[in-house]
Amino acid sequence: MSSSEFSIIDDFFTVKSTKGLPPILGVGDDCAVLDVPNDKQLAISTDTLVEGVHFLVNSEPQSLGHKVLAVNLSDLAAMGATPTWASLAITLPSINEEWLAAFSKGFFELAEKHSLHLVGGDTTQGPLSITITIMGLLQKHRRLTRSGAKVGDSIYVSGAIGNAGLGLLKSRSGVVDLNDHDVAAYVRPSPRVQLGQQLLGMASSCIDVSDGLAADLNHILQQSGVGATIQHQDLPLTDSVQQHMIDIADEVWPYSTGDDYELCFTLPSIVNIDSIDQRLEKKITKIGVIEEQAGLRIQAKSGELINFSKGYEHFNGK
């Protein structure tokens, strides 16, 4: 590595904080050294974002620094894990200090909010691409998984669905205005870390909505060996998303748009949601029920059942 690459690491990726669990050894040596408390287990996940594939070419760097960490935090949220450490591999086409300063600001603002330490990484030259490996802690044997949904459980989703998908369309076709709620949902998603932790011991299954509600809920259904019906009228949609669905005459559009980073989870019927929802950080909405019959069905307002198990297709009169 060249001396200028060393100074990039010093200037933009070395931030020491005493919050949370600092590493025993962080950025600067050949490896980071981390101490996992005896009563805890480590949850690890990696996500890569490639320019032109996962984010728009010439994306604003501060938002990008936020987003790349947010999508990784969202995976920890879906397990109920407490974020602790991350490693950042970044490939840059050139050294642009202004860009790096903004990226680092977006990254560390969100890291600080979650008491997360950047403990190491790699810096290379090439087409812009960012990979984060994120680590979080779980009490031993206490976690949310995709595989525990049972027949009769209720299906919930946090926040609202489809805003990030709409924000992507708006960002593609014009200026990226962070005051626009949909654009903000796309470029600055808020991972539901606190909600995931609050669901530990309550939710029978959980996933974060990154590829679209239908695709992600299908992962829960397949891994739990169950099926589900969603009541379309109960889906939490903002006015902007509802208007977009009218404009494009597509009633099921929000089921297959990605990037929402909300949590979709199931709760057994014995859990009384009314008694706990004041404690939850985010509005949650019941959208359907787990059933024995495999597959994902959406009950439209008309009463028609739409099969959403693979892409989507209409049932013939059933």
Stretch of 51-59, 114-122, 144-152, 209-217 lying at the interface with ligand ADP (CB under 6 A) = 114-122
Least distance in angstroms from the C-beta of 93 to ligand ADP? 15
118 lines the binding site for ligand ADP (CB under 6 A): yes
Nearer to ligand ADP, 29 or 39 (CB): 29
Nearer to Mg ion, 97 or 122 (CB): 122
267 lines the binding site for ligand ADP (CB under 6 A): no
Residue 72, phi then psi, degrees to nearest 5: -75, -40
10 lines the binding site for ligand ADP (CB under 6 A): no
Please identify which residue in 45, 72, 104, 123 interacts with ligand ADP, judged by CB under 6 A: 123
Least distance in angstroms from the C-beta of 150 to ligand ADP? 42
Nearest to 149 by CA among 44, 255, 264: 264
Least distance in angstroms from the C-beta of 54 to ligand ADP? 18
159 lines the binding site for ligand ADP (CB under 6 A): no
Nearer to ligand ADP, 124 or 293 (CB): 124
165 lines the binding site for ligand ADP (CB under 6 A): no
Full DSSP string of the chain: --HHHHHHHHHHS-----SS---SB-BTBSS-B----TTEEEEEEEEEEEBTTTB-TT--HHHHHHHHHHHHHHHHHHHTPEEEEEEEEEEESS--HHHHHHHHHHHHHHHHHTT-EEEEEEEEESS-EEEEEEEEEEETT----SS---TTPEEEEES-SSHHHHHHHHHHHS---TTSHHHHHHHS----HHHHHHHTTT-SEEEE-SS-HHHHHHHHHHHHT-EEEEEGGGS---HHHHHHHHHTT-TTGGGG------EEEEE-TTS-HHHHTTTSSS-EEEEEEEESS-EEEEE-TTS-EEE-SSS-EE-S--
27 lines the binding site for ligand ADP (CB under 6 A): yes
Nearer to ligand ADP, 13 or 253 (CB): 13
Number of residues that bind ligand ADP (CB under 6 A): 14
Task: Enumerate residues 6+ apart whose C-beta is below 8 A from 203.
Answer: 144, 265, 266, 267
Stretch of 27-35, 141-149, 201-209, 244-252 lying at the interface with ligand ADP (CB under 6 A) = 27-35
Nearer to Mg ion, 10 or 122 (CB): 122
104 lines the binding site for ligand ADP (CB under 6 A): no
Give the footprint of Mg ion on this chain (CB under 5 A). Answer: 122
29 lines the binding site for ligand ADP (CB under 6 A): yes
Q: Which of residues 70-89 bind ligand ADP (CB under 6 A)?
A: 88
Interacting residue ranges for ligand ADP, rule: CB under 6 A: 1, 9, 13, 27-30, 88, 90, 118, 120-123
